[in-house]
Amino acid sequence: MQNVAIVTDGSCDLPKDLIDKYKIFIVPFQVLFDTQAFQLYGDSGEITKEEFYFRLEKGTVMPTTAIPKPQSFLDAFEAASKVAKSVIAIFLSKDLSGTIQSAISVLPMVDNKDITIVDSKVTAICLGLLVLEAAKMAKNGKTKDEILIKLDNLIPQTNLVVVVDTMEYLYRGGRIGRAKKLFGQALNIKPILHFEDGVVSSGGTIRGREEVIKHLKFMAPFVAKNTISDQLFIWHTRDIEIAKELKEIIEQNNANNVEVRIQVSFYYKIFLKQKSYLNQLTLLETQSQE
């Protein structure tokens, strides 16, 4: 029996091979298209990414999300407790979802188990990177306290920069009105979003897709140099050519031999506080804020 097992929710966006390698327990997240519910376990689930984006782009029904079922928390906690003395459950920001509150509510049903719940203050692959770091430490025999101290240090240093490539889904999801959508399209405005104190905040705007790409390519050489993790994700929603270009730039400046992965993402509605799905071009950077 190991010291610690790690639990997280399906919004973590981690690839299945890493979930399996580090024995991470997933509480599945639910994505709903009208009355159809699909369970998501990070990077994989009951709906493929191809089908998800086909439905998003071609369908008339906008997808929504639902908090994992109580039984899903119980199943994950029980399974994790069988392989470890303690369990650390790292979930998406409590200000973005009721997931943490639901997890806390089922704890009295898990008898005599040492379970600690951590608010990551982020979601998506940012959450995944925190979970991955904790799982690596757990696999290496670190104690619960050592992992919690590391997470306390990493959480304030984890961020995601999102450049919204189209306002269509902001409009369809009710986040903006038709006039603002048309105004933004006319000026070719690309909003920038990021995390701040557990919620999504505006980081300004960029005019034009080419400007977006120029900024991302400018940032790319500094990413591997400043990362505090040995894993780095270029996270995108179906813009593979730009993702490959960014990866090439990063690897040319990768003196620390960080593993760089391109990740196609499910982009959860939960990220924008239940308002909308976005089609975006993103670059993930986890870096020291000292």
**Are residues 111 and 194 both part of a single domain?**
no
Q: What is the pLDDT of residues 22-38, one digit of tens each?
A: 999 999 988 888 889 99
Which residues is 7 bridged to in the sheet? Answer: 25, 89
Pairing of strands 25-27, 29-33: unpaired
**Are residues 150 and 162 both part of a single domain?**
no
Number of structural domains found in the chain: 2
**Are residues 117 and 35 both part of a single domain?**
yes
**Are residues 143 and 44 both part of a single domain?**
yes
**Are residues 93 and 202 both part of a single domain?**
no
From 155, 189, 208, the end of a domain falls on: 155
Domain of 85, CATH number, reads 3.40.50.10170
**Are residues 85 and 110 both part of a single domain?**
yes
Helical segments of 59-208, H only: 70-81, 99-106, 124-139, 144-154, 168-172, 178-186
* Least confident segment among 99-108, 125-134, 274-283: 274-283
pLDDT of residue 273: 35
From 155, 172, 187, the end of a domain falls on: 155
**Are residues 37 and 116 both part of a single domain?**
yes
Q: How many residues does the chain have?
A: 290
* Owning domain of residue 196: 158-286
Kindly report the pTM of this predicted structure: 0.83
Domain of 224, CATH number, reads 3.30.1180.10
Predicted confidence band at 288 (pLDDT cuts at 50, 70, 90)?
Answer: very low
* Least confident segment among 76-90, 146-160, 181-195, 266-280: 266-280
**Are residues 7 and 130 both part of a single domain?**
yes
* Cα gap 64→26, rounded to integer Å: 20
**Are residues 102 and 21 both part of a single domain?**
yes
From 155, 185, 219, the end of a domain falls on: 155
**Are residues 26 and 95 both part of a single domain?**
yes
